[in-house]
């Protein structure tokens, strides 16, 4: 037989087998986890997967859902690539998952909305937050990560409160950080202030000295880093090493205790915008220490949201009383502002988070503390 035919047949047989393995009514409740667990974004993807599995384990230990059915997770690795994420989403859909939690990299999340929409699968988006996702949402997905608008507004208030006039904004060239940077710039110039430098770094580039010189040369009084903690930590280090004395603030993608490992002392006095997480709610404290002991590192910026996403999905399944897609989607949208790790969740008609409750944190003594001005 031709090799090609073999491949086609093999694929067909495999997928049929996968289909027939699909869950019987009384089996475990299968939840898909859509996250980049390979490729350059795997750091964040694995973090999300870990947090979701922590939540699932807790729910299972508490007796599972719908009269004792256990939650089973299937990984849908997107590698942060749109093609691969559609493949992953189709596979999850073919395996008849009850719901999907995850979504990181807006570019890779967007095309999957249609896939889940067609299959009527509820989707809790925990990290991707581009405003472009809103109109692409057929109605089966809810976003529990606040969109950039809210954060840009928080940033505006914060920097104005500090009496800053000239602001430098640095992003990492991905959808999330570019979006937040653009929104902040527009808000900042709209309020009559100056953006003295609007810069960009490559992911994985370690040397920011030229950039730091440029920021210093621009006379910026404050720097706003809109991307993630790993490169942010390096930037903060190099800013302080080079004697930048002004205010440094980072977006919620950098809200991780890991930032202190990378930036060291330089992270002292750095501000972060964030949902009120981890250290400020009793449940969150427990989460942080469970996470640390189970996975050996501190939870990343999206771990609490991912954990919440799984809990929210479980809550909705319970509320719907079945694994029917429509019922769960209805339940999700009726979320009533109950407190989760990252604050209360309820949704707008656009299926985005109803409230904006960004708080400002300050790095002190190697950890984040609530900043009250």
Partner 1 sequence: MDKHSPPTPTDVDEHDAGRAKPRHPLQKLYAAFESPGRRRALHLTILAILIVTPWISSQYTTVILTNALLYVVLCLGLNVVVGYAGLLDLGYAAFFAVGAYTVGILTQQFGVNFWAAIPFALMAAALAGVIIGGPTLRLRSDYLAIVTLGFGEIVRFTARNLEITGGASGLSHIPEPSLFGWHIDSSIDFYYVFVVLAVLAYIASQRLFDSRLGRAWLYVRHDEDAAEAMGINRVATKLAAYVTGAIFGAIGGIFFSVNLGAISPESFSFQQSVLILLAVVLGGMGKIPGVILGAFIVVLGPELLRDFGTLRLLIFAVLLLLIMLFRPSGIWPEKRS
Partner 2 sequence: MTWYDSFLQQLVDGLVLGSFYALVALGYTMVFGVIKLLNFAHGDLYMTGAFAGFGGLSLVSGFLGAGWLGIFVAMLLAMLAVGCLGVVIERVAYHPMLGAPRLSILITALAVSLVLQNAALALTGGQYTAFSTDLGFGGISLGNLFLSYNQIVLVAAAAVLMIALELFVSKTLYGRAMRAVSIDKDMCRMMGINVSAVIAVTFFIGSGLAAAAGTMAGAYYGSIWYFMGFLIGLKAFTAAVIGGIGSITGAMLGGLILGLLESFGTHIPFIGSEWKDVFTFSILILVLVFKPTGLLGKSEVERM
Residues making contact with partner 2 (CB under 8 A): 37-38, 40, 42-43, 45-47, 173, 198-207, 209-211, 213-214, 216-217, 230, 233-234, 237, 240-243, 258, 261-264, 295-297
For position 350 contacting partner 1 by CB under 8 A, the verdict is: no
Q: Which is nearer to partner 2, 46 or 351 (CB)?
A: 46
* Structure tokens given for 142: 């809810």
Residue 222 touches which member of partner 1, partner 2, none, C-beta under 5-8 Å by kind: none
Q: How many chain residues interact with partner 1 (CB under 8 A)?
A: 54
Q: Which is nearer to partner 1, 175 or 195 (CB)?
A: 175
Q: Closest approach of Cβ 178 to partner 2, in Å? A: 9
Site for partner 1 in 111-140 (CB under 8 A): 111, 114-115, 118-119, 130, 132, 135-136
Mark the segment that binds partner 1 (CB under 8 A) among 32-40, 230-238, 256-264, 282-290.
Answer: 32-40
For position 70 contacting partner 1 by CB under 8 A, the verdict is: no
Q: How many CB atoms lie within 10 A of CB 364?
A: 14
Q: Which is nearer to partner 2, 150 or 199 (CB)?
A: 199
* Structure tokens given for 166: 């000239």
Q: Which is nearer to partner 1, 108 or 164 (CB)?
A: 108
Q: Which of 86, 281, 354, 359 binds partner 1 (CB under 8 A)?
A: 86
Q: Closest approach of Cβ 160 to partner 1, in Å? A: 26
What is the C-alpha separation between 169 and 238, in angstroms, rounded? Answer: 16
201: alpha, beta or left? (left if phi > 0; alpha if psi -120 to 50) = beta
Q: Closest approach of Cβ 210 to partner 2, in Å? A: 4
Q: Which is nearer to partner 2, 198 or 280 (CB)?
A: 198
Residue 191 touches which member of partner 1, partner 2, none, C-beta under 5-8 Å by kind: none
289-296: long-range contacts, CB 8 A cutoff, minimum separation 24: 290/54, 291/50, 291/51, 291/54, 294/50, 294/54, 295/50
Residue 282 touches which member of partner 1, partner 2, none, C-beta under 5-8 Å by kind: none
Asked whether the beta carbons of 356 and 146 are under 8 A apart, the reply is: yes
Q: Which of 70, 87, 120, 194 binds partner 1 (CB under 8 A)?
A: 87
For position 106 contacting partner 1 by CB under 8 A, the verdict is: yes
Q: Closest approach of Cβ 206 to partner 2, in Å? A: 4
Q: Closest approach of Cβ 172 to partner 2, in Å? A: 10
For position 14 contacting partner 1 by CB under 8 A, the verdict is: yes
For position 107 contacting partner 1 by CB under 8 A, the verdict is: yes
For position 297 contacting partner 1 by CB under 8 A, the verdict is: no
Q: Which of 19, 138, 217, 337 binds partner 1 (CB under 8 A)?
A: 19
Mark the segment that binds partner 1 (CB under 8 A) among 75-83, 236-244, 268-276, 314-322.
Answer: 75-83
Asked whether the beta carbons of 224 and 273 are under 8 A apart, the reply is: no
What is the contact surface with partner 1 in residues (CB under 8 A)? 2-5, 7-8, 11-12, 14-16, 18-19, 37-39, 42, 46, 75, 77, 80-84, 86-88, 90-91, 93-95, 105-108, 110-111, 114-115, 118-119, 130, 132, 135-136, 173-175, 177-179, 182
């Amino acid at each position: 037989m031709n090799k090609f035919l073999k491949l086609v047949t093999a694929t067909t047989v495999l997928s049929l087998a996968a289909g027939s393995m699909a869950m019987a009514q009384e089996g475990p409740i299968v939840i898909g986890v859509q996250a980049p667990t390979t490729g350059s974004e795997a750091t964040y993807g694995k973090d999300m997967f870990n947090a979701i599995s922590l939540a699932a384990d807790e729910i299972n230990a508490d007796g599972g859902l719908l009269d004792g059915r256990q939650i089973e997770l299937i990984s849908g690795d997107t590698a942060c690539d749109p093609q691969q994420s559609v493949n992953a989403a189709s596979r999850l859909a073919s395996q008849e998952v009850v719901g999907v939690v995850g979504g990181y990299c807006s570019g890779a999340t967007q095309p999957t909305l249609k896939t889940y929409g067609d299959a009527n699968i509820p989707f809790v988006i925990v990290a991707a937050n581009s405003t472009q996702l809103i109109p692409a949402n057929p109605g089966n997905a809810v976003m529990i990560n606040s969109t950039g608008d809210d954060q840009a507004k928080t940033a505006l208030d914060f920097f104005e409160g500090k009496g800053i006039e000239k602001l430098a904004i640095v992003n990492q060239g991905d959808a999330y950080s570019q979006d937040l940077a653009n929104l902040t710039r527009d808000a900042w110039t709209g309020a009559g202030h100056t953006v003295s430098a609007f810069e960009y770094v490559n992911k994985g580039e370690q040397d920011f000295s030229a950039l730091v010189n440029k920021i210093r040369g621009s006379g910026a009084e404050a720097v706003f880093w809109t991307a993630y903690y790993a490169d942010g930590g390096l930037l903060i280090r190099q800013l302080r090493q080079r004697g930048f004395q002004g205010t440094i603030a980072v977006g919620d993608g950098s809200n991780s205790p890991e930032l202190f490992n990378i930036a060291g002392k330089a992270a002292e006095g750095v501000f972060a915008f964030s949902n009120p997480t981890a250290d400020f709610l009793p449940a969150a404290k427990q989460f942080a220490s469970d996470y640390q002991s189970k996975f050996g590192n501190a939870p990343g910026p999206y771990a609490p949201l991912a954990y919440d996403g799984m809990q929210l999905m479980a809550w909705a399944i319970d509320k719907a009383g079945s694994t029917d897609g429509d019922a769960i989607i209805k339940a999700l949208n009726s979320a009533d502002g109950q407190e989760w790790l990252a604050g209360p969740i309820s949704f707008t008609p656009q299926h985005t988070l109803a409230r904006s409750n960004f708080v400002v944190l300050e790095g002190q003594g190697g950890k984040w503390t609530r900043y009250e001005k």
